[in-house]
Chains A and B, each alone.
Chain A
Amino acid sequence: MSHDPLIIVLIAMIGGAIRVSTPFMFVALGECLTEKSGRINLGLEGTLVLGAMLAYATAYQTGSPWLGILAGGAAGVFLGSLHGYLCKLPKVNDIAVGIAMMSFGIGLAFFFGKPYIQPQAPRLPAIPLGGWTGVPQLAEALQINPLFLVGIAAAIVMAWAFANTKWGLIIRTTGDSAAAARAMGVSVDWVRYLATTIGGFLAGVGGSFLSLSYPGSWNEGLSSGQGLMAVALVIFARWSPIRCVMAALLFGAAGALGPSLQSVGITQGYYLFNAAPYILTLLILIASSGSQQAFRAAPGELSITK
């Protein structure tokens, strides 16, 4: 059965989706949290790259990939809190600050990352979940990274917290109507500052996956724009953490489609498949724009949906 080209492509796509989707998942969850509070952070690409670099450097210096993940998160906290603070100032544009943070984060990562391009840091161990299948390709595809599971857990916790906790309500209210939040006695700026900072933490952890697991080393071409895609992913997921996981898997699978088609001899045209997630997101935007119904999930304060 494993010689059928379709099966090979499918297994490669599942494996690719699981492998590639983790950073997508973390940036999407981080962006989702930030946008739920009514602010947009376009700078997660910088967070991802700085997180990847700092995680790698820390893992190399301390020998512990887990400390590396924390360091990646700390990089995200730094950039996220800077973004959150700047956007608190009146008249400062959140889109421009986001792009500035992207450039700043990448600059810092390249600056401090130069000495870490050569050495090999310890990688995160993977959990083999596919041994029972007896099919080597499938077993390889199911080499699950612990961060993948952490991401899914985080999504479930976030979804539950949004729906059931006081903090979830505060974030959602701040995102839907700043006036209503103020009437509740909530400091809108403070909530958004926190949401951007924690969102940055998640994106930084996503970055640590890039350097510590897959591809698993630090270099300047490490990110292929996963952080920039966060915004598209969140729209695609219509601001639901659970759907963010699905969207990350889908984006991951779409990215894996090219290489897996290549493995069965189809080399032409897969660059167009790379564009598939964006085309889909754009179509969703167009289809939902006319109707209030479809965009009801969007936070009302978000500048991009007004």
Chain B
Amino acid sequence: MSDVADPTVPLHGAALDRASAGKSPTLMRLRAASEFIVIPVLAVMAAFLLFSLFLLAIGKSPLTFLSLLWLGGFGTAFSWGNTLQRASPLILTALAVAVPAQLGLTVIGGEGALVLGGFAAAAIAVPFVGTGMPALIVMPLMIVFALAAGGLWVGLAGWLRYRRGVNETISSLLLSYIAIAIMNFFVEGPMRDLNQPMKASTLPIGTAYMVPAMPHLSVHWGFATGVVLALVLGVLMQRTTFGFAAKITGGNMRAAQAQGLPVGRLILTCALISGACAGLAGYFEVAAVQGRANASLAAGYGFTGILVSFLARHNPIAVVPVAILFGGLGAAGGIVQRRMGMPDATVLVLQGFIFVVLLASETLYGRFRIFQMGGSGGRA
């Protein structure tokens, strides 16, 4: 985003290119790749350090906090289940950001696509409840509706970008609100379950159409789906012509157009994939967690997903560990609250520290000579 090119980067690169002549290229590549591990890890550690100072300042023990965080997020099988359940929608909503980001597009409408996808899945399932229609028919139908609803929603933002030059960041944000309003309209009005006076919801989709937990694990299939999708999209973006074309377009859209790349089709496809991922997150929230569509769908997973993708540097595969980290932080909120007498928002503050420090650490890429290698090193 910076408009000033860092003049030192190519110099370092060229100088080291000469210096490293004769060394193994694999070793050099490893060295350059380690930058993407070392900097984020150091940044996370710095964030934890800052947060420890914050805890000390308010008179709490950072060590107790850290051990509880570990216990609540990753210490037991139960906490892992909780962590992965929270990570699942984050993986999918982060992929919804990472895919269009390859084209240089910043889509921030995942929240709306998630809500609409979840709502569409519930809306198609509810009429079948009690009719004895086999789950083998209804469940795929729900998935298709969720994918289509989410895909169309972000796809619309992509189409507007390509056809009319409307900025996708703003249009997807606006479409998000419209999606939430559409769901509210239906769950408060025509599709409201009148047996739920406190919270406006659709009727339950019924246990027959719910997604079960994975065998031997206390997490639903949404997690496995997210991991597989992350791998598939990672391969698509890094190992195929499609991904290569997307990267060129992301580098310079006008040059890509001049080269005869199908820029319009690339934008539309990536927007559709993006929306479908978020819609799928909505499907699993409805069909594996909530059992019905209501305002709980707009719980902020779409927004956290944006940050997860940025922190993973829009690498689909790196999205998975980052999402698990933040899933774990969320899962530990309860135990920190109970055992330390601190508000459950404590983990939100820690998340804020991590977000801020990690985003600020972006500026460090390409600054350390130790990671440079000739040609491709040091480019953020």
Contacts and interface: CB of A to CB of B under 8 A. Distances in A.
Interface stretch (B21-29, B115-123, B129-137, B183-191): B183-191
B345 A103 contact: no
A304 B345 contact: no
B306 A96 contact: yes
Interface of A: 42, 82, 86, 89-97, 99-108, 110-111, 114, 178, 225, 228-229, 231-232, 235, 268-269, 271-272, 274-275, 278-279, 281-282, 285-286, 289-290, 301, 303-306
Given A89-B363, A95-B106, A285 B166 contact: yes
A68 B274 CA distance: 43
Nearest to A268: B189
B290 to A, nearest CB: 19
Given A97-B359, A272-B181, 8 more contacts: A86-B356, A91-B2, A96-B310, A96-B359, A97-B356, A105-B352, A271-B181, A304-B170
6 contacts: A89-B362, A96-B306, A99-B306, A104-B349, A107-B352, A229-B177
Pick the 6 closest A-B CB pairs, nearest first. Answer: A104-B352, A107-B348, A110-B345, A275-B181, A100-B355, A89-B363
A94 B185 CA distance: 33
Nearest to B344: A110
B303 A93 contact: no
A275 B182 contact: yes
Interface in B1-58: 1-4, 6
Nearest to A302: B167
A95 B189 CA distance: 35
B353 interface: yes
B169 interface: yes
Interface residues of B, number: 50
Contacts of B264: none
Contacts of B188: 271
A282 B174 contact: yes
Contacts of B353: 104
Contact of A92 (B171, B178, B303, B363): B363
Given A86-B359, A93-B1, A232 B170 contact: yes
Interface string B343-380: 11110111111011001101101000000000000001
B310 A93 contact: yes
Interface string B295-308: 00000000110110
B362 A91 contact: yes
B227 interface: no
A102 B306 CA distance: 12
